[in-house]
A and B are shown apart, each in its own frame.
Chain A
Amino acid sequence: AQSVAQPEDQVNVAEGNPLTVKCTYSVSGNPYLFWYVQYPNRGLQFLLKYITGDNLVKGSYGFEAEFNKSQTSFHLKKPSALVSDSALYFCAVRDSLTGGGNKLTFGTGTQLKVEL
């Protein structure tokens, strides 16, 4: 079975400061990991993914994420937060052993609030 945990319901950060949104996962095989962002009354927007290779992946809008296999984590980061980054962030995982298909398991989401 595949699962994802986002331990923080909300993260507050001042504009210009670095931000981190945490995610840990559990899979039986190899993980395929994704980050999505959701703005109010909108669908989910894809930010970045880790499939294999370099542990640091770069994505849209200056976001990046670090894959750590020993800690089963995939934390989302940004060096300098913007007020416009305020939104709901979801981590998602797919287990390589679940066979074909695109079933994603999502975390519960972390509300990011960036203040002036």
Chain B
Amino acid sequence: KAGVTQTPRYLIKTRGQQVTLSCSPISGHRSVSWYQQTPGQGLQFLFEYFSETQRNKGNFPGRFSGRQFSNSRSEMNVSTLELGDSALYLCASSLAGGAPSYEQYFGPGTRLTVT
């Protein structure tokens, strides 16, 4: 079974631009979560989608948004990029959204650099 895939793997953007990152979960997984990883703040939860609905949201500004499609694929968007948005963005999928015992499987991440 294929793992979680994320595209693109690397991205360089300029301050003020917007960016869209894509995540394809493991087949059969309906929950998709996004995390931001930076050296200073570590791993921080952005949001989670299940059945095309946002179920949880972390403490990030409204510039960060996401969505999930009917095939469980997910995208996240960051508008008006700031230098501090430079990070590794990780997507994780899980078998079911209502069962907290299910572990999450992570993709390789998208490395975003804002200049």
Contacts and interface: CB of A to CB of B under 8 A. Distances in A.
Q: What size tier do the contact residues of chain A reach? A: 20 to 34
Contacts of A109: 42-43
Interface string B26-59: 0000010101000000110100101000011010
A84 B13 CA distance: 35
A45 B109 CA distance: 12
Q: What size tier do the contact residues of chain B reach? A: 20 to 34
Contacts of B98: 100
A44 B48 contact: no
Contact of B104 (A41, A42, A46, A51): A46
Interface string A79-100: 0000000000010001010001
Nearest to A47: B103
A100 B104 contact: no
Nearest to A52: B101
B27 to A, nearest CB: 17
Contacts of B105: 46
Given A43-B4, A43-B109, A44-B90, A101 B103 contact: no
Most buried by A among B31, B43, B101, B107: B43
Interface of A: 32, 34, 36, 41-46, 49, 51, 90, 94, 96, 100-109
Given A49-B101, A101-B31, A104-B33, 16 more contacts: A41-B108, A42-B108, A43-B90, A46-B103, A46-B104, A46-B105, A90-B43, A94-B100, A100-B100, A102-B94, A103-B56, A105-B45, A106-B35, A106-B42, A109-B42, A109-B43
